[in-house]
């Protein structure tokens, strides 16, 4: 069985900053030590 965890508010804030800096989904996931599936681009 898989266990899921939610991203913290701080991680979501970091994602927004990194997206604005031009980082892609895989790069952001590696920086935050999470699976790329946690990073959503809209």
Domain count, the chain: 1
Domain span at residue 33? 9-38
- This model's pTM is above 0.95: no
Q: Look at residue 2 and tell me if it is in a domain.
A: no
What is the per-residue pLDDT across 1-42, written as a single tens digit (0 to 9) for each?
Answer: 767 778 899 999 999 999 999 999 999 999 999 999 888 876
pLDDT of residue 20: 96
Q: Look at residue 25 and tell me if it is in a domain.
A: yes
Q: Look at residue 17 and tell me if it is in a domain.
A: yes
pLDDT of residue 41: 73
Q: Look at residue 4 and tell me if it is in a domain.
A: no
Q: Which residue has the tokens 């809209």?
A: 42
Q: Look at residue 15 and tell me if it is in a domain.
A: yes
**Which residues touch 19 (CB under 8 Å, ≥6 apart)?**
28, 41
Q: Look at residue 28 and tell me if it is in a domain.
A: yes
Q: Look at residue 1 and tell me if it is in a domain.
A: no
């Amino acid at each position: 069985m898989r266990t899921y965890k939610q991203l913290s508010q701080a991680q979501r804030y970091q994602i927004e900053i990194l997206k604005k800096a031009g980082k892609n989904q895989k790069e952001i996931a590696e920086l935050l030590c999470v699976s790329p599936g946690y990073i959503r681009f809209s």
